[in-house]
Amino acid sequence: MVRVLIPTLVSLVLPFAAAAQDGAPMDAAKGPPPTPVKVAEAREESLAPRKKVFGELRAQRRTTVAAEEGGIVRELLVNEGARVRAGAPIARLDGTRLELELGILEANATVARATLVERELGQARAERDLELLKRAAAQGGTNPRELADAESDVAVAAALVAQAKAAVAVIERQSALVAERRRDLEIVAPFEGVVTKRHAERGAWIASGGAVVELLDSGHLEAWFDVPQEMFAVAQRLALSASDRDGAAALRVLEIQASTGVRVEATGLRVVPEIDAQTRTFHAIATVRDDAANLAAGLALNAFVPQGPVARWSIVPKDALVYQGVNTSVFVVRNGVAVPTPVRVAFPIGDEVALDPGVIAAGDAVVVEGNERLIPGSAVAPIAAATEAKQ
């Protein structure tokens, strides 16, 4: 046992002795190297304060697609979640009875046209007889009574022709109506959208006007907000500015975010000039753009609307914020050390936030990347965001 321990101890002691002889003593108190972090420069800006309001996304168009003609569903061509184009078929109803009715009308139309031809021939014959009698009367070869009877025959024949034409027109109108009803057996989408609910199944009976599916226009959304009444004048001015030629620039001050964190871009704004008696709010409606198709009707929204006089605010990137429960702080680099600084976020500005002034000064270096792993008093090696972007 002794023979095992002695070589082990010698092997552990010799390196320390060699190090001492070489003049390289160990620094047991040496700490870890500074943590590299990405920093950005805080700045100050004069802005109007913003108030947070709440709302939701709604589709500009939502409808219950109904059957114009009653019948049994032979085909139901869509399911929930299916996207359909405008004019695309959704369902087809049974058309056997209308086909039979249309066949009967076509047969009646053939008979009516034949009757019309017969009566037109009778009218032509009566007109020829009248012409002959007129020539004979001019030569004194007939009497006035025969001429009058011939004129009456022509009038009767013309009336019979008119009656036959009316009968043909009635049957043709009836045929056109039945043909239109037959076309209505194919139920089509009135606009492009997404099917959200089916009200019928194959084999079911649908009465005239009965619901078939619910259709939602997911491509055209609006943001509806309930805004406090004291902001009515501000909202009206913003809506008027949005209707001008530089409306897009005016709407940039309107910050809208979805509950999923997606930033929503407003392309127009209108205000409903009516205050709800119970909530003391009014509706502000913003048309929004969904280029990435990452928005949906019913999604909760937050909006920050400018109000009040212009004031100075400290501006930092959103990435500089560190959340600790209900508290928010920013790591400021001072003398190579990350110093946590409690802040209060007043309102967002795109990818930045406005903070109450006086806590963080313009020009302070705030940590925007790597701050999630810092502890108070950590030594850091800052890398400027602009310098890193150029590299």
Domain ranges of the chain: 31-46+310-391, 50-60+220-307, 62-91+185-216, 96-183
CATH, range 96-183:
1.10.287
pLDDT bracket for residue 386 (50, 70, 90): low
Alpha helix segments (H runs only) across 184-246:
232-242
Q: CB within 8 A of 211, min separation 6: which ones?
A: 64, 65, 66, 199, 200
Token pair 């168009």 in the structure block, residue: 61
Does residue 387 register a pLDDT over 60? no
CATH, range 31-46+310-391:
2.40.420.20
Closest residue by Cα to residue 167 from 124, 107, 122, 115? 115
Poorest-pLDDT segment among 135-144, 231-240, 333-342: 135-144
Q: How far apart are CA 260 and CA 302, in angstroms?
A: 11
322 near 353, Cβ under 8 Å?
no
- What stretch of H or E contains 115? helix 96-138
What is the reported pTM?
0.62
Strands 71-76 vs 89-93: parallel, antiparallel or unpaired? antiparallel
CATH, range 50-60+220-307:
2.40.30.170
Q: Count other Cβ atoms within 10 Å, centred on residue 343.
A: 22
Cα 204 to its chain centre, rounded Å, is: 32
Q: How far apart are CA 361 and CA 219, in angstroms?
A: 44
Q: What is the pLDDT of residue 19?
A: 40
Q: What is the pLDDT of residue 38?
A: 93
Using a pLDDT cut of 90, give the percent of the chain over it: 57
Closest residue by Cα to residue 72 from 90, 101, 94? 94
Q: What is the C-alpha end-to-end distance of the chain, expressed in Å?
A: 62
Instruction: Say which CATH architecture domain 62-91+185-216 belongs to.
Output: Beta Barrel (2.40)
pLDDT bracket for residue 4 (50, 70, 90): very low
